[in-house]
């Protein structure tokens, strides 16, 4: 069993990763400032002796926190790094603040990792690093040319990982996520993922807005499948120094996605169209070869099943509110 630090572990994808690690008996330390994560996402583990939570910001010096944990449990052995400012539009409004959290916060963690001999780091990167004109399907060799400070941060961190690997022998795997969806994705902000917004509107029978003609496509991957890829890349010693796209390889239009959601929710929501959102890419889907070859990654949850499960979760949240 391994002692794993999960930064951003109270967040959407982070908490699914924590669930998987805990269910396999690992000792998990979550560091999260709860800026966009929720304690409720990890509440089920609160009384488990193998679970530790520290509310802390990665840009503050968390060395003391990690040393405190090490004194009680033993040193952190592996690290999964999710903690970030994840809103693309906010990164455009405040690129300096964005670098502070995403780049400086990460480099501080990498410094800790190399000074304390952390065995391996798994990093949550993004398909936002790719050129908008990248070929379809996109693969890991496609040109990286981010269209946002957020995408630039992720690419810069990949370079830092490579630097730490070459200079200090730090082991890592970076995963570039496609469009992740599932329970715990917060629908309430204007940069929320499309599926979380559509489900939220559908259960309330409120109108949903499709930007452009709705024939733009995405590769939607379910959060527990992403968690599976992340845990593999952290705990297995393969895929060293590799960058791997994590998606499903299935390209779906926004129109199809909306129709499936309205159908599953038996919703009376109407669909309205609005002008294309600035900077939206037209088609997005990944090849799966590298993830299959290096991580034996195979997504288990198809879109319809994933939407059903997410819908069930959205309904439980309505009762709570
Ligand atoms: C996603 C990521 C972003 C990343 C980018 C590239 C999310 C939330 N965002 O953006 O961090 O930089 O991939 O990898 O995962 N749409 C509607 N109606 C709505 C909301 C969205 O029609 O109410 C459409 C959008 O115009 C877009 C599609 O749905 O065509 C997906 O939008 P969104 O979920 O925001 O994700 P991306 O733009 O792909």
Q: What is the pLDDT of residues 180-227, one digit of tens each?
A: 999 999 998 767 899 999 999 999 999 999 999 999 999 999 999 999
Ligand 1 pocket test, pick from 153, 222, 277 with the greatest ligand atom count within 8 Å of Cβ, gives 277
Average pLDDT of the residues in 168-172 = 97
Ligand 1 pocket test, pick from 194, 222, 259 with the greatest ligand atom count within 8 Å of Cβ, gives 194
- 174's CB contacts (< 8 A; 6+ apart) are 122, 123, 125, 157, 158, 161, 242, 243, 244
> Domain 194-216+251-284+306-320 is in which class?
alpha beta
Domain boundaries, the chain: 3-181+222-248+286-300, 194-216+251-284+306-320
Average pLDDT of the residues in 60-87 = 94
Task: Give distance in angstroms: CA of 192 to centre of ligand 1.
Answer: 8
Q: What is the share, in percent, of the chain residues with pLDDT greater than 90?
A: 92
Contact indicator for 254, 209 with CB cutoff of 8 Å: no
Q: Pick the catalytic residue: 69, 112, 130, 150?
A: 150
Taking residue 321's Cβ as centre, other Cβ atoms within 10 Å add up to 4
Residue 209 is predicted with a pLDDT of 97
Task: Give distance in angstroms: CA of 28 to centre of ligand 1.
Answer: 31
Q: Is the CB of 202 under 6 A from ligand 1?
A: no
Task: Give distance in angstroms: CA of 87 to centre of ligand 1.
Answer: 11
Relative to the CA of 210, which ligand 1 atom is closest?
22
pLDDT tens per residue across span 23-61: 999 999 999 999 999 999 999 999 999 999 999 999 998
Q: Is residue 163 annotated as a catalytic residue, yes or no?
A: no
For the cut 60, the answer to whether the pLDDT of residue 319 exceeds it is yes
Average pLDDT of the residues in 142-166 = 97
* Global confidence as pTM: 0.96
pLDDT tens per residue across span 231-249: 999 999 999 999 999 999 9
> Domain 3-181+222-248+286-300 is in which class?
alpha beta
pLDDT tens per residue across span 309-318: 999 999 999 8
Between CA 7 and CA 11 the distance in angstroms is 9
């Amino acid at each position: 069993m391994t002692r794993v630090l999960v930064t951003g572990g109270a967040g959407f994808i982070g908490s699914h990763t924590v669930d998987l690690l805990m269910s396999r008996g690992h000792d998990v330390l979550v560091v999260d400032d709860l800026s966009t994560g929720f304690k409720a996402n990890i509440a089920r583990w609160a009384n488990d002796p193998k679970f530790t939570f520290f509310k802390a910001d990665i840009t503050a010096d968390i060395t003391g926190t990690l040393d405190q944990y090490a004194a009680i449990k033993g040193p952190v052995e592996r690290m999964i790094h999710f903690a970030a400012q994840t809103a693309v539009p906010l990164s455009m409004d405040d690129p300096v603040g964005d670098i502070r959290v995403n780049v400086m916060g990460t480099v501080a963690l990498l410094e800790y990792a190399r000074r304390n001999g952390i065995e391996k780091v798994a990093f949550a990167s993004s398909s936002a690093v790719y050129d908008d004109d990248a070929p379809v399907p996109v693969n890991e060799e496609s040109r990286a040319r981010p269209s946002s400070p957020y995408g630039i941060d992720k690419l810069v961190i990949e370079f830092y990982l490579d630097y730490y690997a070459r200079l200090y022998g730090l082991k890592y795997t970076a995963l570039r996520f496609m469009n992740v969806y599932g329970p715990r994705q917060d629908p309430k902000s204007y940069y929320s993922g499309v599926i979380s917004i559509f489900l939220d509107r559908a259960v309330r029978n409120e109108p949903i807005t499709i930007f452009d003609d709705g024939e733009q496509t995405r590769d939607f991957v379910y959060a527990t499948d992403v968690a599976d890829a992340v845990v593999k890349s952290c705990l297995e010693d393969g895929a060293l120094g590799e960058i791997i796209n994590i998606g499903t390889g299935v390209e779906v239009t926004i129109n199809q996605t909306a129709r499936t959601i309205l159908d599953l929710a038996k919703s009376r929501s109407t669909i309205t169209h609005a002008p294309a959102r600035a900077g939206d890419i037209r088609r997005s889907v990944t090849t799966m070869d590298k993830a299959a070859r290096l991580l034996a990654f195979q997504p288990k949850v198809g879109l319809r099943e994933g939407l059903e499960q997410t819908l069930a979760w959205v309904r439980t949240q309505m009762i709570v509110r």
